Structure 1
Amino acid sequence: MVTGGTRGLGFAIAREFLNEGMSVVCASRTPGDFKVLEEECPDRVRYWQTDVTSPESVAGLMRAAVDLFGRLDVVVANAGVNRDGKVERLDPADWDVMVGTNLTGVYLCTHAAVPYLRESGGTIINVSSSMATRITVGAAGYCATKAAVEMFTRVTAIELGRYGIRVNALAPGILAEGMGKELIQNDRIWEKYRKRFALGRVGDVAEAARAAVFLASDDASYVNGDILEVNGGLQWA
């Protein structure tokens, strides 16, 4: 089950899971690009409309995943939003949106999934960001919520380990989607920032998605409470 699974990184994660033979529920407020996945794997992927800020909606999502495919093995809490603005002008409503989606949404997914994951010995992957540990002027809300996601991941990994549930976080750097795409398309700005990337490029969403597949796989069976950064060697300062 992937929240925010109909576009961007969530879409890429869902596609990589499907490529591995898994069945996937893509959860989001809107269908986005879901039809593409449905055309590729009509028997193994479903869309479920979900508001990750609503306890009832998230609980219904987990029940639906089990009803649709018989069990729940992997939960990817990917849904996230960003609202730009320095703290002095950041609207309280925008702050609430970021906290509600980026942090409360992760908590609600974990809370609702535990009963099902205890049965399957499954795993949770929370999607963080390189901005969780790097100061970004004008992104106080986003940075703060992603930093909180990483600590939430570490704590719940310890709490849930006794049930055989692993909890890790994926922290992508700048990818060639959204902000990253805009960055590399602006020659003047890209030339300024290019030297911050050890590999000289931004990442592809598929590269981050494959890291999520690793965290979900048996190859990561002893990885718990980890924050896996996928940023190509990003130097922020």
Structure 2
Amino acid sequence: MGALEGRVAVVTGGTKGLGLKITEAFVAEGARVVVGARGGAGADGALAHLDGRAVFRQTDVRDPASVRALMEAAADRFGGVDVLMANAGLSRPGPAAGLAGADWAQVVDTNLNGLFHCVQAAVPYLERSGNGRIVTMSSALGSRPAPGASAYCATKAAVEMFSKVIALELAPKGIVVNCLAPGFVDEGMGRLLKQNQAVWSTYAPKVALGRMGTGREIAEAAVYLAGDAGAYVNGHVLEVNGGLAW
């Protein structure tokens, strides 16, 4: 029996990269998953190997109505929502003094406002679950400054504090909230970083284990926080980074 057997999960940003690895891990552990993402192209194909246990719903986390529709779709399709995996996020690099206002706003609107919308929409369903879980997604850069990443660092730091606050607020409703903070991972943005050897060579020595993490390793941590094994972990930021010294 899987760690998430019988659970219904909503995963935002779950059609590619780290989000897809988390979706696959949730399904492997027995969950049925509704995946929300903005890009519809190729989404059904990305989930086809999961045999209908993960379905796609086009969603823009910046739009509260779109997020409410995502939760409603999960409840209609699978009977409720037990887990929210709030993974959707993006980065717009550039020095703060020269970063376009539109780029800053897009990062804030997706990484922070999008999380807020997801939590508000999910709470009524998670409360009815009786075993509700929220797992938010931060980053090693949520607690470590990096030049050229002002928008990303600021929003991920905010995600961590927001997660700690709602962990206190939602505990009386039977909802457990934790935050996952990966380090350098060979998926998505991390894979692009690794491909730039000039950049990666400056960061690689900072990782005690001497390598990037895998999507599977991050996904297994997400399963832990979403399942019964992590039931008494609440308001925690779980760093999965191979021993990252900064």
CA contact (8 A) 1:37 1:45 kept: no
Equivalent residue for 1:114?
123
Q: Aligned pair count?
A: 236
Equivalent residue for 1:216?
226
CA contact (8 A) 2:136 2:180 kept: yes
Q: 1: distance between equivalents of 2:67 and 2:157?
A: 22
The one of 48, 67, 72 aligned to 1:58? 67
The one of 129, 148, 157 aligned to 2:158? 148
5+ unaligned residues in a row in structure 1: which ranges? none
Residues 48/217 of structure 1: CA separation in 2 closer, same or farther (3 Å cut): same
Equivalent residue for 2:49?
40
**Runs of 4+ displaced beyond 6 Å:** none
Deviation of the 1:206 alpha carbon: 1.1
Q: 1: distance between equivalents of 2:102 and 2:195?
A: 31
Q: Does 1:167 align with 2:156?
A: no
Equivalent residue for 2:191?
181
CA contact (8 A) 1:169 1:227 kept: yes
Provide the identity percentage: 51
TM-score, length of structure 2 as denominator length: 0.92
> Which residue type is aligned with residue 148 of structure 2?
G
Equivalent residue for 1:22?
31
Q: CA RMSD in A?
A: 1.4
Equivalent residue for 2:5?
none
Equivalent residue for 2:147?
137
5+ unaligned residues in a row in structure 2: which ranges? 1-9
Q: 1: distance between equivalents of 2:189 and 2:137?
A: 17
Q: 2: distance between equivalents of 1:142 and 1:190?
A: 18
Equivalent residue for 1:199?
209
TM-score, length of structure 1 as denominator length: 0.95
Q: 1: distance between equivalents of 2:149 and 2:45?
A: 32
